[in-house]
Amino acid sequence: MIGFLASLMVAIFAFALMKPATRGYRGWEKRLISYALLAHFAGALALLAVYLYYYGNGDLVRYHRLGGIIAAHLSTDFGNVAPEVLALLLGTGGEGLATHGAGTSTGSMEAVAAILSFLLGDSILASSILIASGAFFGKLSIYSVLRRELSVEFHRPALIGALLVPSAVFWSGSLLKESVVMSFLGALVWGGYMLSTGRKRTIGAIALTVGVIGCALFKGYLLVPAAVAGMVWLYVRRSNKSKNVAAKPIYVLGATAAAFGLLLLIGNFNPRYDVFRAEQQLVHEAETMGGSDGGSNYTLLDTSGPTSTARLLLTAPWAVFTALLRPAIIEARNPLSLVNGLETLVLTIMLIRVIRRRGFWASVSVIRKSPILAFCAVFTLLLAIGVGFATTNMGTLSRYRMPLVPFFAVLLGVLGTTKQQRSPVPSTKKK
């Protein structure tokens, strides 16, 4: 009963927060956004049902179980246990609470489970609803950037892509790293945009910092495509504003140097995400995430021997295809993979529609002229390469690619229309 009441209070608070977050939005936007929040709650319930009654176990269940144990210690000895939980969250300690996870993103997730269990009465439902709400507002933050950058004709496909893609909704709602990190990814995108455009710089800097730290704790590899995509966004934006053709190579060099520096910084902070050692890192990830042969497992990298850069480059297109458009519906082996297959079928049809309506090079031209579409394209492409190579199981593929799905869906939705991007003119008129 306590868990139900806690879940209800969290849901009510999320709806209350949505009103100021959508101030100035049009009527149809508010309706779709309300439906999206309800969908995230429903997705959280569905995800719980799958893990508790279909799988019977898994990361979600394990996090909740260990989180409940740590929360019990917090209740009896808060003064001594709380610093350990904080150290576990930040990856700087906590070995006494979680022997195997301390110092890793797994330990950070275990700390989150413990904190939520302590605050919400050990209710896995309330924890899931709270995380789903955070992921929802992260995506809403991304949409707020999209609606500022895109002309009004593209707001509807941008909203649907950012907030209503089924797999992204489903995997946003529980004690999983992918679910938690979506709120931080939204903060990163929104904060970076506000800071770089001069709007609300102080709040933007705070949001960007929180987003970077959160992504680093739970899914540090997201910082690599985000850093490169951010520099591409800045380059396209600056290049579009400049009438001096001779200055554009300088912008290219500046953006390249900035991206190079950010990648060096990320690699030094966590060698696991050092892109300058991509061959070794991707092979290591494939070995770590690999399993037995058969079933829904697949392998793009042969981990039995050395992997060359040339081989990685030749295999990269297949890795991108795998990450974005598999499992195909003919590869479905169970009800969950069938649902995934239906979604990838729709995405494949949308991609074909884009190529037929605009053509490949015309689509590239549109992306090159739009800073936000360039960001979406680069983030999607780079993250798809990593996910495609590192993931080795079709059953987990839709979960690991979830952070890129909203950006990919926005690209397909916007490019799938025949309208031309104009200067964004946000409207407050209700329809």
- Nearest 5°: CA angle at 335, between 334 and 341? 90
Could you tell me which residue, 286 or 371, shows the higher pLDDT? 371
> Looking at beta carbons, which pairs linking 86-92 to residues 24 or more positions away fall under 8 Å?
86/111, 88/114, 89/115, 89/217, 90/217, 91/217
CA distance 111 to 90: 9
Q: How confident is the model at residue 45 (pLDDT cuts 50, 70, 90)?
A: very high
What is the percent of the chain with per-residue pLDDT over 70, rounded to a whole number?
A: 82
CA distance 48 to 128: 8
CA distance 189 to 371: 13
Token look-up 């949505």 returns 18
Tokens of 138: 């992260």
CA distance 256 to 320: 23
pLDDT at residue 384, rounded to an integer: 93
Tens-place pLDDT, residues 389-415: 888 778 788 899 999 999 999 999 999
Q: Which of 419, 368, 377, 428 is nearest to 151 (CA)?
A: 419
Answer whether residue 259 shows pLDDT above 80.
Answer: no
Token look-up 């895109």 returns 150
Could you tell me which residue, 295 or 214, shows the higher pLDDT? 214
Q: What SS3 state is found at 296? A: coil
Phi, psi of 93, deg, nearest 5? 170, -150
pLDDT at residue 98, rounded to an integer: 82
pLDDT, the chain, mean: 85
DSSP of 159-214: HHHHH--HHHHHTTSSSSHHHHHHHHHHHHHHHHHHHHHTSSHHHHHHHHHHHHHH
Question: How far lies 185's CA from each of 156, 189, 228, 324, 360, in Å?
Answer: 21, 6, 14, 19, 29
Question: Which one-letter DSSP state was computed for residue 292?
Answer: -
Tokens of 393: 């199981």
Which has the minimum average pLDDT: 9-13, 65-69, 143-147, 282-286?
282-286
CA distance 359 to 352: 9
Q: Is 106 left (phi over 0), alpha (psi -120 to 50) or beta?
A: alpha
pLDDT at residue 293, rounded to an integer: 44
pLDDT at residue 217, rounded to an integer: 93
pLDDT at residue 82, rounded to an integer: 95
Q: How confident is the model at residue 274 (pLDDT cuts 50, 70, 90)?
A: low
Answer whether residue 426 shows pLDDT above 50.
Answer: no
- Taking the C-alpha atoms of 393, 398, 404 and 408 in order, what is their torsion angle to the nearest 10 degrees? 110
Q: Which of 391, 401, 393, 400 is nearest to 295 (CA)?
A: 393
Answer whether residue 151 shows pLDDT above 80.
Answer: yes
Q: How confident is the model at residue 367 (pLDDT cuts 50, 70, 90)?
A: very high
Q: How confident is the model at residue 229 (pLDDT cuts 50, 70, 90)?
A: very high
Q: How confident is the model at residue 117 (pLDDT cuts 50, 70, 90)?
A: very high
Answer whether residue 429 shows pLDDT above 70.
Answer: no
Q: Which residues contact 129 (CB under 8 A, 6 or more apart)?
A: 7, 10, 11, 14, 41, 44, 173
CA distance 365 to 381: 16
